[in-house]
Amino acid sequence: MKRWRHFLVTILIVPSLGIYVWFASIILDFLIGFHFLIDFLIYFVMGILWILPATVVIKWLAKHESN
């Protein structure tokens, strides 16, 4: 009966990533265009930033599955 967590993560990860991409694109519209190094840095940070909440979800899932 522990599989409901996998189902919950599977169902919620796609819309949450879509919302993140939407917010990131809105923020990027205001921040890009000044200098190509700044653009590269902003895209790099926005591309890596989604990993932080994903690790929290994966740790939550792994903690409950190990019991």
Distance in angstroms (rounded) separating the CA atoms of residues 32 and 29: 6
Q: What is the pLDDT of residues 3-58, one digit of tens each?
A: 788 888 888 888 998 999 999 999 888 888 889 998 899 899 999 998 998 898 88
Write down the pLDDT at residue 65. Answer: 74
Dihedral angle sign, alpha carbons of residues 29, 35, 36, 41? negative
Please give the model's pTM, rounded to 2 decimal places. Answer: 0.72
Q: Report yes or no: 57 and 9 within 8 Å, Cβ to Cβ.
A: yes
Read off the tokens for 16.
Answer: 């949450």
